[in-house]
Amino acid sequence: MKIVKVDVMQLGTDVRPDWRPIVCRIYTDEGIYGDGEAAMAYDVGALGAFGMLQELAKMVIGMDPLDNEVIWDKLYRSTFWGQNGGPVTFSAISAIDIALWDIKGKYFKVPVYKLLGGKKRDNLRCYASQLQFGWGEVRIPARTPEDYAKNAKKAVEEGYDAVKFDFFLYNEEDGFFNDNDRLGLLSKKYLNIVEKRIAAVREAVGPDVDIIMENHSYTDAQSALQLGRMAEKYDIFCFEEPTTPYPKITKYMSDKLNIPIATGERIYSRWQYAQYFENCSVQMIQPDFGNCGGITEGKKICDMAYAYDVGVQGHACGSPLSNVVALHLECVIPNFVIHEHHAVNLTPYNKSYCIYDYQPVNGKYKVPELPGLGNELSESAMNNSIKVTIE
């Protein structure tokens, strides 16, 4: 079997112009195809992944799609920018690698998780993610403590026993907090705003629901430390991306706080993750399998984490393809903690990209049982994409 063609696509939406999933479909001479995603759908950088994916696609034409390790090493070692590369390079490698696993599962007529060793769990606990955006089909910024409490209650009523907020994203009136507000030692004004929001959520959900505090690396070591110490009394499940991903600063935060530190969506490859494992600075990693090197590299990262007693939660904030990739990997690893069910998964525009709409029931996810990933791009998504074909 050989790869004969690759379609590289930038998906779009009229509802949200800044949401641009970058995907590919790899075709073989036996009629089997596979879909993959370069997980840079939001903010800046999507076009870089779109271009890089076209460049790398040229290198796999004529190769055997079942040779995922051979192809991975070729893309990593013979492209110059691959070694120690960042999100653009690794997201393109990831998209190709994910599509290869999709092909492999279809070829052997089994779900991807079977090829990874078999699932250890049938139901994956998940949390309602990024509730500051609202929890439903439309994004509605949470600004008051009452908004935060309402969104948390809504998720808990649907069966989730864990929720995640960025409590320091939207300001109280209009727009967002900025770097002048969030960097350096914080005034009592900002600490009080954040605390009122956390307190409202804790009161709304009670003591038995976990709260994840997300910071998107918008704070630095000083402001994050203040927030973390303030939040300790609210029994926070973990503190996500409190600072710029950097091993020494992450170690500083871990040593100073009694809250587990989670990070990883902007850490790429096993070589970059190794530094965090070696200094024992992170308690839960959050690799995005659409930008850390795909399933091939993602499994290695998770296995390395297991050797250091570090838990795993896949970062899943892209099209429904990214979601199922995370499920396949999370169900097989022994150090799985929880699955991220991002608010974007509730939106009609994101659901429309794939043929199946998998959603959790009572805060638990089932893994697709169809051959390959168990989901694929919809005709409407491909027809409305910007497409470049590599042959």
Answer yes or no: is pLDDT of 43 > 90: no
**Residue 223, pLDDT above cutoff 90:** yes
First to last CA, the chain: 15
Burial level of 157, CB count in 10 A (0-12/13-18/19+)?
exposed
Confidence of residue 345 (pLDDT cuts 50, 70, 90): very high
**CA separation, residue 234 to residues 182, 197, 199 (Å):** 21, 11, 7
Q: How confident is the model at residue 327 (pLDDT cuts 50, 70, 90)?
A: very high
What are 171's two structure tokens? 């300001």
pTM of the model: 0.97
Domain ranges of the chain: 3-109+377-390, 115-366
Nearest to 156 by CA among 91, 213, 205: 205
Q: If 0-12 CB within 10 Å is exposed, 13-18 middle and 19+ buried, where does residue 275 land? A: middle
The dihedrals phi and psi of 315, each to the nearest 5 degrees, come to -80, 120
- Assigned token pair, 280: 């024992």
Short-list 211, 213, 319, 310, CA closest to 267 = 310
Annotated active-site positions, please? 216, 315
111-125 pLDDT, tens digit per residue, is: 999 999 999 999 999
Confidence of residue 15 (pLDDT cuts 50, 70, 90): confident
- pLDDT for 386: 97
Positive or negative CA dihedral for 47, 49, 52, 54? negative
The pLDDT score that the predictor gives to residue 129 is: 98
Local confidence band at 147 (pLDDT 50, 70, 90 cut-offs): very high
Mean pLDDT of 24-52: 96
pLDDT per residue as tens digits for the range 150-188: 999 999 999 999 999 999 999 999 999 999 999 999 999
Whole-number pLDDT of residue 242: 98
Burial of 122 from C-beta contacts in 10 A (0-12 / 13-18 / 19+): exposed
Rounded to whole angstroms, how far apart are CA atoms 376 and 370?
A: 11
SS (H, E, C) the chain: CCEEEEEEEECCCCCCCCCCCEEEEEEECCCCEEEEEECCCCCCCHHHHHHHHHHHHHHHCCCCCCCHHHHHHHHHHCCCCCCCCCHHHHHHHHHHHHHHHHHHHHHHCCEHHHHCCCCCCCCEEEEEECHHHCCCCCCCCCCCHHHHHHHHHHHHHCCCCEEEECCCCECCCCCECCHHHHCCCCCHHHHHHHHHHHHHHHHHHCCCCEEEEECCCCCCHHHHHHHHHHHHHHCEEEEECCCCCCHHHHHHHHHHCCCCEEECCCCCHHHHHHHHHHCCCCCEECCCCCCCCHHHHHHHHHHHHHHCCCEECCCCCCCHHHHHHHHHHHCCCCCECCEEEEHHHHCHHHHCCECCCCCCECCEECCCCCCECCCCECHHHHHCCEEEEEC
> Does the pLDDT value for residue 17 go beyond 90?
no
Rounded Cα distance between 86 and 105, Å, is 28
Closest-CA residue to 239 (of 262, 265, 211): 262
Q: Residue 16 has what pLDDT? A: 87
Residues 6 or more apart in contact with residue 203 via CB below 8 angstroms: 149
Partners of 125 in beta bridges: 364
* Whole-number pLDDT of residue 14: 81
